[in-house]
Structure 1
Amino acid sequence: MAVPPIHVPRRHTLNLEDYFAGPRDMDKHSKWPLFLQMHGSILPKMIVPLICMSAWSTCITLIYMKAHKNIAVNSILLTVLGFVVSTGLSFRGSTAYERYAEGRRFFASLVTSSQALGRVFWIHAKPLPDVDMRRQILYKISAMNLVVAYAIALKHSLRFEPYTAYQDIEHLVGHLDTFAKSATTTMPTNIGKKNFFKSVGDYLGLSFAASNPRKQLKKAAKPLGNLPLEILNHLAVTIDDLVGRGQLPVPMQQTLAYNNLAALNDAYTGCQRVLNTPLPIAYSILFQQITWLYVILLPFQMVGVLNWITIPATTVASYIILGLLFIGQEIENPFGHDVNDLPLDTYCEQIALDMDIIASHANYKPEDFFFSSENVPLWPVSAAPADTWLQRSEAKLAETIRTKPNKTFEWRRWRGEKAGDEESGKTD
């Protein structure tokens, strides 16, 4: 039974519904100053905590100012607890960003290995003389599509999206016999849909509104398998086939293919390590407790000195302290759908574009472009093309190459002086 593809949204314009959803589109540019930007800010998830802290500080201030109850405490507690809280938040932020940077590093490695495998399939794999060239071209393109499919499958795996009926991958793996394809036939039809209140709660960062990210895995009616690993198996078989048919005759080319296949697997295991090894829960709970305890005690320590100013002062202080805590929470898992998470969709699209660019390269011989009339190998010493230099003597060529450092130095100095004169003329 065919399953309709799940639309994977890509934002071209920002509307109210997805303004606080992510990841952030790296192609968008905002002219607003950073301190006024809301897209990517942690403020939406702090609205409820800040309202609670404002109400709390208002109650404490009213009790002190109107009921005349001396509930103020010595501000020395600010110093003692402040050191503990700052140390904890620093540790929380550094560990979260380390995970974020590590996730980016693994995807950079994935891009590098994908490009290398694409060149192996398209350029290094020699054509077979007794096989239809159209068949060989489609073979290579299909192999390169598997590289793209692997990157997209890894993205969905890291987001706990285990099926194949996603718009960006269905056409790439629909012909493969995988566990995920079999399980897709029993996939629930309401995946990813949220009601209004749950969406609002998610924007506001309310924990009771957050869904279990592994819900799709738990509700699967059939074994889900491991789609990235299964695609790697198909890539391994493809490389073995190319080697067995003698299309990769150079041992270094074979080593390059297998090494980059292993690098793809390393990127997968590295991302899984980041995803499945969060900060120990004891640390997370303790950081939450001491941070909230600190901001809750703030009004008691400020009301005796600031009086009514305690209310806005507590709100501002809570925004600063809780903001650092919430940012650490958001980027701890860099593979999700938060605004500040890694733009995995962009990385996968870049890999797909790289494969298309590699496949667009015609298999010219080096002589065709090295000795083209448009190649100027000795610029800026000489504007003569390569085919012109073939008509000159070897001694003339050697002399020009020998004097090129001095000539290039003089040319660069002349260009700098000319640019300076032009700039002076504009200012005058």
Structure 2
Amino acid sequence: MSDTLFAGGGGFWGFSKKFRATVVNDIWPEVFFFTLVATMVALVSHLTSTSLAISNQMLTVLGTVLGLVISFRTSTAYERFMEGRKLWTNIAIASRNLAQVIWIHVPFERVDKKTGQPMSHLKIIIEKKTMVNLIQAFAVSVKHLLRGEGGVYYADLYPLISCLPRFTSPKHTSEEDMMPLWKASEMDHTMHQTIRSQSFRGDTLSSVLERAQSDPALLKEKNIGSELSDSEVGWLNSMRGRSGKKFDPERALAIIPSEHPLRPARNPPKASLYDYLPFLRILRPVWRPITRRLGRHDDPDGQRRTFTGRKIRPQLADSNVPIEITLFLTTYFSMLLKAGQLQPASATTMVNAISALQDTVTNLERIKNTPLPFAYQAHLRVSLWLYLFFLPFQIFDAFKFLTIPATAFASFLLLGFLEIGQEIENPFNYDLNDLDLDHFCLAVQRELHEITAHTTPDLDEFVFTEWNQPFAPADRRTAKDMMADANHDYHGPETGVHSIRKTLLKSWREVDEATRR
């Protein structure tokens, strides 16, 4: 699970996670360097006859300009952060609207065109629920797309879309006839694979998919019957909902065997000692040969940070999964229109929701793929470096040895704001300051399941019952009692509407008096 879900924990671990959310790991080499410069200026000026102090006339002017520019840099990054949050809100809204139209407005009474017989409610509910699952899959696929994780072979995505056709037709099952969704996912899985399956050795992908399409149990049998590595056993346990983790939202998904071991739904970088003691990174070249001799070849820190500790940002994945999902949703919409199953208002809502999903993922890609121009970033950073480099020379006459902590503080302050702006301008990764995309997807999942739990009951089942007091507080009788009291003024042809309006007016007066201080 994303570390952001546990960032508020108490004690040492809570503090450690909050420390990792800071930008100390990214700016400490620069702060250390400018502090050394300040130390050199102070020592040379104090211990020798040579004074390195210079005039501070430019200090105020340049400091003000740099402050304004850094403030602008941080503000633009925060706008991108908030725009990303708003776009994810749009995904949630469009997903709810689309699911509600499919679940409630698409009729349950339908005639099978082939047989002329009424279709069973079970068949229609399965059809609707499958489409709602694709809506959930859209949000999950966008999450993986923004995190640079291409393809469909993830524990939280594959079970939702495994039913989609893999080939152009059941009669054509060669790799040349493979649908773009699965062909691209296979290529991506080969490029980014972290878990190698020992199953299906000697089988081509097309033969595996061809047999799995007609008999998914084949995948399960071959996986269970083969000799599995420790990572594959962990994968199978997680697929069976027995991973042993306290928080395992994938247990709520279907258990569908896959032709590839599924990668984790959430794969944040593991914390290392360097995250808490960043200055130890300077010793990595010495420690790495020792750890390799001890048989430890893993370096969780080396794939996500540079030698000095600066974060390596993942690139946007070349994935077409969200597009493919919207194509299937649009195809379903077209089928409903041809069959005359949607009223004009419902059809408009449905097509607008699908369009909103497509627009949103395009705008999210725009945020991900459009960083601040390099020339602006480079010029700002070089200008700040020059300012901090000459800062101790300008303030030594006034601060003496306090020049050292003053320069360190100024470096930490200005470089920190600059680095924060660079970090939050792309808020879709696993950093503790990034948007919690996993939480957003799980919220969409819960809401969609709540929609499909709605049974669209008849009004008589809940409106005219003893559990409803529609005219309270003026009339606290239940709807069932009012309907049964045929002698009341409410039922009179001349007194009915007038009496009801008097009751509602009395309710307004009582509510107005009770709710005002």
Under TM normalisation by the shorter chain, which class is it? 0.7 to 0.9
- In the other structure, the counterpart of 1:71 is 52
Q: In 2 relative to 1, CA 378–316 (structure 1 residues): closer, same or farther, beyond 3 Å?
A: same
1:356: how far off? 0.4
Root mean square deviation of aligned Cα: 2.8
1:389: how far off? 2.4
TM-score scaled to structure 2, two decimals?
0.69
Contact 1:48 1:204 in 2 (8 A): no
1:242: how far off? 2.2
Q: In 2 relative to 1, CA 263–180 (structure 1 residues): closer, same or farther, beyond 3 Å?
A: same
- In the other structure, the counterpart of 1:273 is 366
- Tell me the amino acid that sits aligned with residue 371 of structure 1: F
The CA distance in 2 between the partners of 1:26 and 1:194, in whole Å, is: 14
The CA distance in 2 between the partners of 1:294 and 1:366, in whole Å, is: 72
The CA distance in 1 between the partners of 2:393 and 2:513, in whole Å, is: 73
Aligned residues: 385
The CA distance in 2 between the partners of 1:290 and 1:257, in whole Å, is: 52
The CA distance in 2 between the partners of 1:225 and 1:302, in whole Å, is: 53
Aligned residue for 1:288, secondary structure, equals helix
- Tell me the amino acid that sits aligned with residue 42 of structure 2: T
Structure 1: state its 5+ residue gaps.
1-9, 12-21, 218-223, 417-428
- Tell me the amino acid that sits aligned with residue 97 of structure 2: A
Contact 2:7 2:18 in 1 (8 A): no
- In the other structure, the counterpart of 2:314 is 213
- Tell me the amino acid that sits aligned with residue 132 of structure 1: S
- In the other structure, the counterpart of 1:140 is 128
Contact 1:40 1:339 in 2 (8 A): yes
| Partner residue of 1:170 out of 158, 173, 189 | 158
- In the other structure, the counterpart of 1:16 is none
Alignment of 1:371-382 (within 5 A): 371-382=464-475
- In the other structure, the counterpart of 2:380 is 287
CA deviations over 1:123-143 (Å, ceiling 9, x no partner)? 111013411221211111110
Contact 1:73 1:301 in 2 (8 A): yes
- In the other structure, the counterpart of 2:505 is 402
Aligned residue for 1:25, secondary structure, equals helix
**Do structure 1's residue 322 and structure 2's residue 423 form an aligned pair?**
no
- In the other structure, the counterpart of 1:261 is 354
- Tell me the amino acid that sits aligned with residue 144 of structure 1: V
CA deviations over 1:142-188 (Å, ceiling 9, x no partner)? 10010111111111111221121112111112232313333255244
Aligned residue for 2:190, secondary structure, equals coil
- In the other structure, the counterpart of 2:69 is 88
The CA distance in 2 between the partners of 1:326 and 1:244, in whole Å, is: 54
Alignment of 1:95-244 (within 5 A): 95-129=76-110, 130-176=118-164, 177=166, 178=181, 179-184=183-188, 186-190=190-194, 199-200=300-301, 210-211=311-312, 213-214=314-315, 226-244=320-338
- Tell me the amino acid that sits aligned with residue 336 of structure 2: L
Q: In 2 relative to 1, CA 326–206 (structure 1 residues): closer, same or farther, beyond 3 Å?
A: farther
Contact 2:44 2:50 in 1 (8 A): yes
1:211: how far off? 4.5
The CA distance in 2 between the partners of 1:338 and 1:107, in whole Å, is: 17
Contact 2:34 2:407 in 1 (8 A): yes
CA deviations over 1:286-334 (Å, ceiling 9, x no partner)? 1111111111111111212111111111111111111110100100111
- In the other structure, the counterpart of 1:301 is 394
The CA distance in 2 between the partners of 1:168 and 1:289, in whole Å, is: 44
CA deviations over 1:263-303 (Å, ceiling 9, x no partner)? 00110111111112221111111111111111111111121
Contact 2:25 2:310 in 1 (8 A): no
CA deviations over 1:18-72 (Å, ceiling 9, x no partner)? xxxx5x22884669999x9525322333333222222221122111111232111
The CA distance in 2 between the partners of 1:405 and 1:195, in whole Å, is: 59
- Tell me the amino acid that sits aligned with residue 405 of structure 1: W
**Do structure 1's residue 25 and structure 2's residue 5 form an aligned pair?**
yes
The CA distance in 2 between the partners of 1:271 and 1:377, in whole Å, is: 45
The CA distance in 2 between the partners of 1:287 and 1:211, in whole Å, is: 20
- In the other structure, the counterpart of 2:247 is none
Aligned residue for 1:376, secondary structure, equals coil
Q: Which moved more, 1:128-137 or 1:81-90?
A: 128-137
Contact 2:145 2:319 in 1 (8 A): no
- In the other structure, the counterpart of 1:55 is 36
Identity %: 30
- Tell me the amino acid that sits aligned with residue 352 of structure 1: Q
Contact 1:165 1:184 in 2 (8 A): no
1:78: how far off? 1.2
Contact 1:174 1:181 in 2 (8 A): no
Q: Which moved more, 1:81-90 or 1:258-267?
A: 81-90
CA deviations over 1:403-426 (Å, ceiling 9, x no partner)? 22212223335xx5xxxxxxxxxx
The CA distance in 2 between the partners of 1:185 and 1:272, in whole Å, is: 21
Q: In 2 relative to 1, CA 371–134 (structure 1 residues): closer, same or farther, beyond 3 Å?
A: same
Contact 1:381 1:408 in 2 (8 A): no
The CA distance in 2 between the partners of 1:195 and 1:163, in whole Å, is: 26
Aligned residue for 2:403, secondary structure, equals helix
